[in-house]
Structure formats: structure tokens, C-alpha cells
Amino acid sequence: MYVKINGVFIKLSFWIPILIIFLGYGFVGRSISMLYQQSNSATTTFLLALCVAGVYVLPIGLGGIIATIVSLAVFFAIAGFSSGLVASAAAALVIWLGFQDADSDIVDRDKNLTTQQWLIVAATTCLALTLMFTIAQTTTGTISDLIVGATTGSIAAIGLQIKSSEQSLANPSRFVRFGVIASLSIGFIFGLLTYKQYIYSSMPDFQSLIT
């Protein structure tokens, strides 16, 4: 299925991981707003810097699978087997949808990464963990598990999808960067408007990591 934008037909599978990433950035933006209003400047600065780094590393697409696996493993540990299983199924579905129409010729099969590339992998993994923790402590139940899984799966798919769309969509990386910045800003503003004492009741382990 295709979506027509400015006379260009873009595969619907291109939009799935990107829109999910936008949603995840909205959650992070709200959390940054809450932490900022609690005068937690160190954590606020760290999360903001990580999100800005993510704007640049996501389109590169290095370490997405590693980030997904690590995030799901941590989610299994803190949320339990059932929740982890639901999240894993959601992640697998998003990855499958994202990869099925992608051009296999553009997949980088070179396993010898440079130091800079390893830094990109590390940044991608940290971003995936941040999205996972933020969503998990903001939402509850099966919906939370599904959003966590879909978001971590999107981390693996988004880079390849952007590369696959470069021939048909002008400046796809710029579009993604604009979208994640806009989503982060919307989440931040939403947090300012709906501020109340931020209680990490659903994921107490996350609070200990960021305070």
C-alpha cells in the first residue's frame, strides 16, 4: 500500500516505524518536561542530549537490531515474562513490516565497525533504552507492552526504511529529524500544561537509574 505525498507514492511500510518513533519521542518530551519542573537538571540535560543525538543517529541505521534486543532483554527483566513476550511480538511485527519491502542490496553486511560507528551503535542503544523506560513508566498494561515493543522494533527498522526511500522521497532524513524534534517539543509542552508530581510507580527501577 502506498501514500501519495507531493505527487510521489511512498510505501505505507515506510511510515509505520517513523510514526511510532515520533510517538516515542513525544513520551520522552513529556518526561523531560516533568523532570525539568522538578529541577532535575542533570537528568534533563542528559535525556535532551541523547534525544538530539538520536535525531542524527537514527537515519544512519547502525545498531538498530542490537538496540532492539538489548531493550527487550531489559524489559523482560523488569516487566516480567508475559509483558516481555507481548513486547517482543509487537517488535517482531514492526520489524517484519519494515523489512519486507526494503531493498536488501542496501543492507550493510560489513561487520568490521569503526570506533565512530560503535559510538553510533551505543547511542542508538541508549536511545532505545530511554524510549523503552519512558514509555513503560508512563503507560500501563498490555497497551504499554505493545507500545514498548513497537517502538523498540521501529529502532531496528527505521534506518533501513529511510535508505530504501531515498530514491523516492526527497530528504527523508531531514523529514525524520523535523518530525522527532516536533514530537519532542509537543511532548514537552504537553508536560508543561499537565504537570503534576511525577511518580514512577509502575517502573521503580527506572527512577533509581535517573535520579
The answer to whether residues 28 and 134 touch, using CB atoms and an 8 Å cutoff, is yes
Q: Count how many residues are written for the chain.
A: 211
pLDDT of 209 reads 45
More confident residue, 172 or 89: 89
d(C-alpha 2, C-alpha 168), whole Å: 12
d(C-alpha 11, C-alpha 104), whole Å: 16
> In 3-state terms, what secondary structure has residue 196?
coil
pLDDT of 90 reads 95
What's the Cα-to-Cα distance from 150 to each of 24, 43, 142, rounded to whole Å? Answer: 10, 25, 12
Per-residue pLDDT tens over the stretch 120-131: 889 899 999 999
CA-closest candidate to residue 117, choices 163, 63, 153 = 63
d(C-alpha 67, C-alpha 115), whole Å: 17
117: how many CB neighbours lie within 10 A of its CB?
Answer: 15
Maximal CA-CA distance, the chain = 50
The answer to whether residues 24 and 132 touch, using CB atoms and an 8 Å cutoff, is no
Instruction: Count CA atoms closer than 13 A to 28's CA, side-chain side.
Output: 32
Per-residue pLDDT tens over the stretch 79-113: 999 999 999 999 999 988 877 655 555 444 445 67
Residue 20: pLDDT over 70: yes
Residue 5 bridge partners (DSSP): 8
Residue 201: pLDDT over 60: no
Residue 2 bridge partners (DSSP): 11
Q: Which residues contact 193 (CB under 8 A, 6 or more apart)?
A: none
Confidence of residue 12 (pLDDT cuts 50, 70, 90): low
